[in-house]
């Protein structure tokens, strides 16, 4: 983990809450999936959050992971270079994050580069990888490798398409549902500004009879 000064007060409390969200059982699942996707030549890390962070922080494994979800020749990251230069490693992490979003991972599930590089929020890293695994499983295009029970399959959206005639009929129906003045008349209405006549309940006119003059 990169060297950082100690946290005090509120920042320490926030960091503690973030670290509590990190799940060791998800770590084992994600390591298994990444190895299955990238190949058995990939050396597994020792269990533990810091070991998991160091395993991924160069960006190389993440780039290999996203590339493994595409057909040969269509990989989003064309060149993966091994380097110890910090900015190059962070650049590879950024490339992975952009490629993961392009693949279909929701932007709200994407971690920030410093979350991994500085170990600020490894739970967010897990969330991104879990979202990527679910997306890969849901696509079902033959590029997902590993146990299908490791991730949940996303619900598919059934998009309905309507013909122009159906849309026209729908607009007509909605117009009728909004109301119609067909058959309406001014019968029984008095002109605007006409004083309202108040009659006693026993008045002949009130009962529908005209009195003789």
pLDDT top residue among 125 and 7: 125
**Is the pLDDT at 40 greater than 90, yes or no?**
no
Identify which has the larger pLDDT, 165 or 107.
Answer: 107
Q: How is residue 48 annotated by DSSP?
A: S
pLDDT band at 36 (very low <50, low <70, confident <90, very high): very high
Pair 66, 96: CB distance under 8 Å: yes
pLDDT of 100 reads 96
Task: Kindly report which listed range (15-19, 76-80, 131-135, 202-206) carries the lowest average pLDDT score.
Answer: 202-206
Band (pLDDT 50/70/90 cuts) for residue 107 is very high
> What domains can you pick out in the chain, each with its CATH number?
11-150 (1.10.418.10)
Residue 152 confidence class, pLDDT cut points 50, 70, 90? confident
Do 150 and 29 contact (CB within 8 A), yes or no? yes
What average pLDDT does range 77-85 have in this prediction? Answer: 89
Least confident interval from 145-149, 163-167, 189-193: 189-193
Q: What percent of the chain has pLDDT over 70?
A: 63
**Cα torsion through 81, 86, 87, 92, rounded to 10:** 40
**Separation CA 188–CA 196 (nearest Å):** 13
pTM for this prediction:
0.66
**Cβ distance 89 to 58 under 8 Å?**
yes
Rounded mean pLDDT of the chain? 78
- Examine the pLDDT at 192 and tell me if it is beyond 50: no
Average of per-residue pLDDT across 171-185 = 52
């Amino acid at each position: 983990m990169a060297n950082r000064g100690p946290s005090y007060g509120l920042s320490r409390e926030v960091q503690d809450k973030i670290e509590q969200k990190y799940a060791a059982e998800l770590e084992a699942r994600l390591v298994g999936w990444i190895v299955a996707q990238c190949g058995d030549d990939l050396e597994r890390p020792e269990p533990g959050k810091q070991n998991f962070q160091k395993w991924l922080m160069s960006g190389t494994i993440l780039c290999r992971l996203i590339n493994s979800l595409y057909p040969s020749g269509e990989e989003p990251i064309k060149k993966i270079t091994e380097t110890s230069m910090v900015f190059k490693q962070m650049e590879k992490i950024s490339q992975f994050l952009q490629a993961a979003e392009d693949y279909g991972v929701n932007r709200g599930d994407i971690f920030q580069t410093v979350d991994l590089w500085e170990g600020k929020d490894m739970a967010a890293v897990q969330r991104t990888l879990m979202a990527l695994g679910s997306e890969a499983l849901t696509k079902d295009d033959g590029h997902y490798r590993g146990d299908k029970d490791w991730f949940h399959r996303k619900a598919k959206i059934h998009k309905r398409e309507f013909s122009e005639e159906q849309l026209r009929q729908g607009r007509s129906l909605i117009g009728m549902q909004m109301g119609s003045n067909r058959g309406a008349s001014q019968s029984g209405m008095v002109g605007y500004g006409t004083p309202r006549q108040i009659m006693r309940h026993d008045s002949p006119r009130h009962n529908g009879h005209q009195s003789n003059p």
